[in-house]
Structure 1
Amino acid sequence: MKYYDIFSYLYDLLAPDWYYHKPRKFAIEKLDFKKNSNIIVLPCGTGQSFKYLKNQLKSNGLIIGIDYSEGMLTKARKKIRKKGWDNIITLHEDAARFNKSDIASISEEELNIDAIYLELGLSAMPEWQKVIDKSLSLVRVGGKIVIMDWYMEELNLWGRFIDLIGNADVTRPTWEYLKSRKEVKDFNLNHSFKNGGVFVASGYKV
């Protein structure tokens, strides 16, 4: 993750929150969580989504931010300290290998994961199918999984730029894999953001 450790210094400049505000707001509303919910954000990056989640949770529940880049986590932790957020935990973990024992280590009480938010990461993860499988194994029955990411069937100039700065592949139809999983019901896809380049996909675990 050395690339993202370096990229973390420029991330909030090259991928600012205002640019993703509309799809991010829509995606977090799709999480459909209640008061005292426990939510995983993966990857959490520099923590841009935390304030959206906090606006709904306030000081209830728990937000677990996971990232494999220490550089990204350093930026996220600075935001947490600056804002004084008391119910956000960040973990340096491999998303494809994070498991229930890792969740158990967070709290003495058993934590049920009510929602998992996969934000702008699957397009850059080598083992992205495993990350979706892992997410489905971690979220409780009836819980929600939401993906917000890039997808372009054919790359234009902007898509090539996104691939370059994100070290990604935005031609991956990651939402199709979520839709194909038998554990997912009520699948929904909105591909209207950023001129069709950014999608939000969601489903409940059965």
Structure 2
Amino acid sequence: METFIDILEVRFGKNQPILTEEILCVFSDISRQAVYKRIDAAMAEGKIARYDRGVYYLPTETRFGKSSLLGTQVATKRWLQSGNDVYGYVSGFNLVNESGVSDQVPNTLEITTNKESSRLREVKPFGGWKRITLRKPRRPVNARNVNALRFLDLITDQQIQFYDEYEMDALKKLARKAGRSMIYDCSASYPGRTAKKLAECERYRVFA
């Protein structure tokens, strides 16, 4: 007979973030109180560990003791992606760095995600970041449009006329990945200044 931990391991694997709502979903046939009791019992036995409020994982033994999660793993699961389900992307200076336009690594993590309903909200930092801010997207994020939204966020806040050759190549690569038609479709959700930046992109042959 499969145990509580066996079921979680088959579903999520070892050393992977498991959100409370996911555990409740897996054991939807029993009460929430009963699920929390099983979590507490498993934690007492050292079979499950809590990374942060609402985030658990199944640890393994290492030469340094029990394993731990990386902050990036937790942030990804909470706000960006789970399997093929994409629901967010890093934004702000993190986006500039991730896209290759800048090599500066910010100590603030900014994320735009479907999981956030506020225009802007700061949450308790973890994983080495000094600040973590969440934003509601201009339109729902999915696997098809995420790169277009990333591109539009980037050009809206950047002065692309000052880009050097390396930075412009990075922008063109992101544009190809996003697709011109998807970019223009998503641009309807952005302010007027974004349309002006798209015109600049055309002038600098970003979509060529």
The TM-score bracket by the shorter chain reads: under 0.3
**What's the TM-score, normalizing by structure 2?**
0.23
Larger relative CO (CA 8 A, sep 6+): 1 or 2?
1
Structure number with higher strand proportion: 1
User: Normalising by structure 1, what TM-score?
Assistant: 0.23
Structure showing greater radius of gyration is: 2
Indicate the structure with greater helix content. 2
